[in-house]
C-alpha cells in the first residue's frame, strides 16, 4: 500500500504555508482553546480491572471489551499524554474502540495514579516503554485476546512513547498516533519558546535535580501546569485550562491525577529523538494530527517522513487544537472512526 496524506483541499494552501516557517515561530502561535470534558456513558462495552507487573512494580489497568461478545478479539494497548492517568484521555478511546470490537487496555504508568512505584510522578521514555511492554504482556496473556492481532495507540506524548515501544516489540502489529507531542529537539525548542526556561535550561534543571538526589537530597518536584508560571512542565495556558479541571477535588474520586512531576524528568523526557525509533517502524502506521496540535503540521510531517514503513497515512484535522483530541466528543468520535477504518484489514 502507498503512503497517504489526507488534507481537506480548502486548507491545503493554509497548512502548506506552515512548512515555510520555523517550528519555533509556529509553536509561538497560541491557538484559542475549545475544550469539552465528558464522561463516557456505559453501554456497548464492559470494563474489568487488570493488574500486572512492570519491572517488579504492580500497575493498575482496566481492560475494555465490547459487551455481549465472546471469543478472542484484536487488542490495543493505549498510552496517554505526559503525566496522565487512565481516567483521562485513555478511557475516552478505550470505551469507543471497545464498542468497535477491540479489547483495549489502559493503565496508570509506574509511579502515577493507582499504580505502584517510586519516586512518584516521574516521566521518561525508558520507563514508559517498559510499562507498554508489560501492558502488552498482560493483554496477550488475557484469554480473550488474539495474540497475533495486537496494536498500539498513543495520545499526545504517548504517541512518542508508543513509537519507541513499537520499534522494539514485534508483537505490536499496527500503530496509531493521535495528536502526538513528538519528542525531538526542533519541535521542543518551539514548544518551550513562549517564555520561561528554554529547552536547554530545562534539561540542565533536570540534570541538576538528579545530581542533588544522587548526593542524598530529597526527590524534587515541579508543577505540571499553572495559569501563570512558565517554569512548569507544560507552560501553555490552553493546556493548563484542560488539566486544571482534574486538579484537586473538582473531579471527586474519579482519578488520582496529581499536578506535579519530578524535576529530574526534564533530563529524561526532553533529550530523546523520536525520529530514531520512527526510522525502525515497519508496521502500518496512522498519524492523526490537529491543525493546532503540538508542533502543527511540521512536527506531524517530520515524524511521518521519518517512518520506515510505506503503509502509512497522515490525516490533518483543520482548526482542531491539541487537547480537543483528549475528550471533545465530536473530535474523539471522528478520531476513533479514522482509527477503526485504518485498522480494518490491518489488525
Cell numbers at residue 43, please? 453501554
Within a domain: 66: yes
Cell numbers at residue 94, please? 478505550
Within a domain: 224: no
pTM value is: 0.88
Domain with 135 in it: 4-194+272-343
CATH number at 302 reads 3.40.50.1820
> Where does the pLDDT of residue 331 fall: very low under 50, low under 70, confident under 90, or very high at 90 and above?
very high
* 14 Cβ contact partners less than 8 Å away, ≥ 6 residues apart: none
* 86 Cβ contact partners less than 8 Å away, ≥ 6 residues apart: 60, 61, 62, 80, 106, 107, 108, 113
Within a domain: 227: no
Q: Count other Cβ atoms within 10 Å, centred on residue 338.
A: 18
Using one digit for the tens of pLDDT, what is the confidence trace for 16-62?
333 333 333 322 222 323 333 333 445 699 999 999 999 999 999 99
Within a domain: 215: no
Please determine, for residue 11, whether its predicted confidence score (pLDDT) is greater than 70. Answer: no
> Where does the pLDDT of residue 275 fall: very low under 50, low under 70, confident under 90, or very high at 90 and above?
very high
Specify the 3-state DSSP secondary structure of 261: strand
> Where does the pLDDT of residue 206 fall: very low under 50, low under 70, confident under 90, or very high at 90 and above?
very high
In 3D space, the residue among 163, 157, 158, 178 whose CA is nearest the CA of residue 278 turns out to be 163
Using one digit for the tens of pLDDT, what is the confidence trace for 174-189?
999 999 999 999 999 9
Total domain count, the chain = 1
In 3D space, the residue among 217, 215, 235 whose CA is nearest the CA of residue 225 turns out to be 235
Measured in residues, the chain has a length of: 347
pLDDT for res 143: 97
pLDDT for res 194: 87
Within a domain: 306: yes
pLDDT for res 318: 96
Within a domain: 189: yes
Matching residue, cell 500503530: 175
Within a domain: 30: yes
pLDDT for res 32: 28
Mean pLDDT over all residues of the chain? 89
Within a domain: 237: no
Using one digit for the tens of pLDDT, what is the confidence trace for 238-258?
999 999 988 875 545 556 899
Amino acid at each position: 500500500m502507498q503512503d497517504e496524506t489526507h488534507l481537506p483541499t480548502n486548507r491545503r494552501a493554509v497548512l502548506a504555508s506552515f512548512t515555510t516557517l520555523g517550528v519555533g515561530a509556529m509553536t509561538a502561535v497560541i491557538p484559542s482553546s475549545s475544550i469539552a470534558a465528558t464522561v463516557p456513558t456505559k453501554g456497548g462495552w464492559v470494563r474489568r480491572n487488570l493488574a500486572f507487573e512492570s519491572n517488579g512494580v504492580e500497575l493498575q489497568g482496566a481492560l475494555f471489551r465490547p459487551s455481549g461478545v465472546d471469543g478472542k478479539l484484536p487488542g490495543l494497548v493505549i498510552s496517554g499524554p505526559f503525566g496522565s492517568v487512565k481516567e483521562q484521555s485513555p478511557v475516552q478511546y478505550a470505551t469507543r474502540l471497545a464498542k468497535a470490537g477491540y479489547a483495549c487496555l489502559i493503565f496508570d504508568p509506574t509511579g502515577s495514579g493507582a499504580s505502584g512505584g517510586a519516586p512518584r510522578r516521574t516521566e521518561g521514555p525508558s520507563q514508559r516503554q517498559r510499562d507498554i511492554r508489560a501492558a502488552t504482556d498482560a493483554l496477550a496473556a488475557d484469554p480473550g485476546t488474539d495474540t497475533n492481532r495486537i496494536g498500539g495507540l498513543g495520545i499526545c506524548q504517548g504517541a512518542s512513547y508508543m513509537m519507541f515501544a513499537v520499534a522494539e516489540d514485534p508483537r505490536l502489529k499496527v500503530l496509531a498516533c493521535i495528536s502526538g507531542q513528538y519528542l525531538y529537539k526542533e519541535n521542543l525548542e518551539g514548544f518551550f519558546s513562549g517564555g520561561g526556561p528554554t529547552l536547554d535550561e530545562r534539561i540542565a534543571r533536570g540534570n541538576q535535580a538528579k545530581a542533588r538526589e544522587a548526593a542524598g537530597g530529597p526527590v524534587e518536584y515541579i508543577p505540571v501546569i499553572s495559569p501563570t508560571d512558565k517554569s512548569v512542565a507544560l507552560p501553555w495556558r490552553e493546556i493548563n485550562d484542560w488539566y486544571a479541571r482534574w486538579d484537586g477535588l473538582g473531579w471527586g474520586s474519579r482519578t488520582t491525577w496529581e499536578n506535579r512531576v519530578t524535576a529530574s524528568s526534564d533530563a529524561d523526557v526532553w533529550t530523546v529523538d523520536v525520529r530514531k525509533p520512527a526510522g525502525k517502524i515497519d508496521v502500518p502506521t496512522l498519524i492523526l494530527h490537529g491543525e493546532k496540535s503540538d508542533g502543527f503540521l511540521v512536527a506531524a510531517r517530520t515524524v511521518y517522513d521519518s517512518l520506515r514503513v510505506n503503509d502509512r497515512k497522515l490525516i490533518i484535522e483543520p482548526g482542531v487544537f491539541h487537547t480537543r483530541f483528549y475528550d471533545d466528543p465530536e473530535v474523539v468520535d471522528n478520531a476513533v472512526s479514522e482509527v477503526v477504518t485504518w485498522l480494518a484489514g490491518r489488525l
